[in-house]
Amino acid sequence: MSILEYNGAAIIGMAGKNCVGIASDNRLGAQIQTVATDFKKVFSMDDKLYVGLAGLASDVQTMHNLLKFRQNLYELREERSVSPKVFSNLLSSLLYEKRFGPYFIEPVVAGLDEKNEPFLSAMDLIGAPSYHEDFVVSGTATANMLGMCETLYKPDMEPEELFETLSQALLASVDRDSLSGWGAVVHIVTKDGVITRELKGRQD
Amino acid sequence: MGDSAYSFSLTTFNRTGKLLQIEYALNAVANGRTSLGICAKDGVVIATDKKLASTLVDTEQVRKVENITDGAGFVYSGVGPDYRVLVRKARKSSQSYYLTYREPQPVSQLVKGTASVMQEYTQSGGVRPFGVSLLVAGTDADGTPRLYQVDPSGAYFGWKATAIGKNYVNAKNFLERRYQEDMELEDAIHTALLTLREGFEGEMTSQNIEVGVVSTTDGVFRRLTPEQIQDYLDEAS
């Protein structure tokens, strides 16, 4: 049993034209048993900054609280909002601090920078970051998600098309993974605001 | 500091509510060589009098204006060795900031951090306050040029123009008369040199002053070379 596969998760971040989307499944399990079907793994840190946390549920919630703590202090002290790049680097530093006793999460950061250009990053449980212009994935169905994204993705999609692509990629991926699924939540972030939609997929 | 036999602070209140150690530290600053700074609309300039005990001293080896980050620098009036400790700490803490955020520390954060260190030395066991006031020049997160003063107590102030050290009262009066809201950096450098010359004992040359400049064009803090200082001095004559 791998700790990162105990609770189950599927998260995708995808970039469009001056917009970014981030989606996750809703399942919380204890190995084979499903415990909740409304477990949030994507969190809004700011209007244009979202973070998705896949992995051990306890660490998902703890890290969300820790990130909020650090973001609040930053914004109080610096009197400005955290940019996606800085947030991603902060997250990376926080994870590496626990190099020899890590948080069991593999996060995804999605946001729009100061110029409303999409920002996507993903990292492993000890903070090794990678930056992508197209899509990032994390969770128990990464092989499925990478295949779906690679096939369905095209650059410069408008928000509506991005939503369709992101939704189809996620829904198809979780259907072949027993540990993730039970519906999904999709956020599409543009400079004018965010549209959040719930998806109903196979409830199994 | 905490593991010495002194677990009590040496800086304590007197009956009238003063912290005399801080007052005395401010006296040490007021006896130090003059430093000044001017914040222009497109940059900041800081300068100091580097007059030393003897003409035999190698002035090139003496550094009073120092870079802390690429975008911010310090100058001081007061006790030199205390200044070097602060410079070292400030450099380390701004590198630590960069390590966490991979973004350069804005000058306002640098000032708050340094001021916080100076305040700690007024409330910790077995230590005395730093005998320096700092002038910090840099550009903030949004590119605005800023000039700050930090005192031994840890109090900090943002200034449009200011002077510290010997003769600071006259220097500040001079600056008050000359300062204009929309001053450009080149004018500010000239005014800074004129102000420094006002209270200067003897002849002011490119060897016995130091000047540091940060411009909004590139946001980089630099010490002027003696040649550049000489050019400004020549223009001023």
Residues of chain B with C-beta less than 8 angstroms from the C-beta of A83 = 103
Q: Least CB-CB distance to A90: which of B100, B106, B141?
A: B100
Q: In Å, how far is B103's CA from the nearest CA of chain A?
A: 7
φ, ψ of residue B28 in degrees (nearest 5): -60, -40
pLDDT along chain B (237 residues), means of 10: 76 95 97 97 96 88 94 97 97 96 96 98 95 97 95 97 97 96 95 94 92 96 96 89
pLDDT of residue A1: 84
**Per-residue CA distances from A137 to A54, A140, B6, B106 (Å):** 9, 10, 56, 33
ipTM here: 0.81
Q: In Å, how far is A83's CA from the nearest CA of chain B?
A: 10
Taking the Cβ of residue B109 and every Cβ of chain A, the question of whether any pair is shorter than 8 Å is answered with: yes
Q: Inspect the interface and report whether the beta carbons of B112 and A85 lie closer than 8 Å.
A: no
Q: In Å, how far is B237's CA from the nearest CA of chain A?
A: 43
Residues of chain A with C-beta less than 8 angstroms from the C-beta of B109 = 77-78
The two structure tokens encoding residue B218: 């590139």
The two structure tokens encoding residue A111: 């946001």
pTM (2 d.p.): 0.88
Give dist(CA A138, CA A148) in Å, integer: 13
Mind giving me the DSSP string for chain B? -TTSS--SBS--B-TTS-BHHHHHHHHHHHTSPPEEEEEETTEEEEEEE---S-TTS-GGG---SEEEETTEEEEEEE-HHHHHHHHHHHHHHHHHHHHHHSSPPPHHHHHHHHHHHHHHTTSSBT----SEEEEEEEE-TTS-EEEEEE-TTS-EEEESEEEESTTHHHHHHHHHHH--TT--HHHHHHHHHHHHHHT-SS---TTSEEEEEEETTT--EEEPPHHHHHHHHHHH-
Q: Inspect the interface and report whether the beta carbons of A89 and B101 lie closer than 8 Å.
A: yes
Instruction: Convert the pLDDT of each residue in A98-152 to its tens digit.
Output: 999 999 999 999 999 999 999 999 999 999 999 999 999 999 999 999 999 999 9
pLDDT of residue B55: 87
Nearest to A63 by CA among A102, A30, A10, A29: A102
Taking the Cβ of residue B177 and every Cβ of chain A, the question of whether any pair is shorter than 8 Å is answered with: no
Instruction: Convert the pLDDT of each residue in A151-187 to its tens digit.
Output: 999 999 999 999 999 999 999 999 999 999 999 999 9
A76: Cα separation from own chain's centroid = 25
**Per-residue CA distances from B177 to A43, A62, A194, B161, B181 (Å):** 55, 57, 53, 11, 12
Instruction: Convert the pLDDT of each residue in A51-73 to its tens digit.
Output: 999 999 999 999 999 999 999 99
pLDDT of residue B59: 87
Taking the Cβ of residue A78 and every Cβ of chain B, the question of whether any pair is shorter than 8 Å is answered with: yes
pLDDT of residue B237: 73
Does A78 score more than 90 pLDDT? Answer: yes
Nearest to B218 by CA among B12, B102, B90, B70: B70
By CA distance, what is B112's nearest residue in A?
A77
**Per-residue CA distances from B214 to A146, B103, B233 (Å):** 48, 18, 19
